[in-house]
Structure 1
Amino acid sequence: MDYDGDADFDRVPPSFDRVKTAARNVETQGFNPGLIVLLVVGGLIMLFLVGNYALYVYAQKTLPPKKKKPISKKKMKKERLKQGVSAPGE
């Protein structure tokens, strides 16, 4: 049994040899499709969030403040009695 340790490492099976040559010959062919999808979806989400914020700020500036519900006379009388102020007409 002749065993030459370094000689075995020089011989590479043909299947691995093809992988090495294919890896060396790879050229950049543009963006990865997954990256394009990620950028488009991320851009749409950012556009949605920024648009909602802009609409919120615009609405805060232009819409009139909410009107409060009118308090009934009965509740008003109770509140005045709690505070110790006599209700008018009593």
Structure 2
Amino acid sequence: MGADDFKVPPSFDRVKNAAHDGAAQGFNPGLIVLLVIGGLLLSFLVGNYVLYTYAQKTLPPKKKKPVSKKKMKKERLKQGVSAPGE
């Protein structure tokens, strides 16, 4: 009787290989990439929101553009009020 006479059934061989491969491989590389990109995207969005709220609190309100005399006169005529001096 040689060493070839005592073969392990293929079903047991697969179980041993699966257990060995799972422990050696660790995390899925695709999952790691997905988590890194997701984390960067999330931190970017949260950072933008924080900066936006900070700017809303600290920056002065935008100044409105001055309305020209010509436009004011036009608006008054539309409303039926005569412009002063006419």
The normalised TM-score by structure 1 is 0.70
Between structures 1 and 2, the one with greater helix share: 2
Cα gap change, 1:27 to 1:82, in 2 (>3 Å): closer
2:40 aligns with one of 32, 37, 44: 44
1:54 Cα deviation from its structure 2 partner = 0.5
5+ residue gaps, structure 2: 1-6
Distance 2:51 2:37 in 1: 21
Percentage of pairs with the same residue: 72
2:53 paired residue number: 57
RMSD over equivalenced CA pairs, Å: 2.4
Q: Quick check: 1:23 aligned with 2:7?
A: no
1:79 aligns with one of 56, 68, 75: 75
5+ residue gaps, structure 1: 1-13
**Count, aligned residues:** 76
The one-letter amino acid paired with 2:74 is: K
Runs of 4+ in structure 1 deviating by more than 4 angstroms, as ranges, are none
1:32 paired residue number: 28
1:8 paired residue number: none
The structure having more radius of gyration, on CA atoms, is 1
Deviations 1:11-52 (A, max 9, x none): xxx9x9286142244442432222221111111110000000
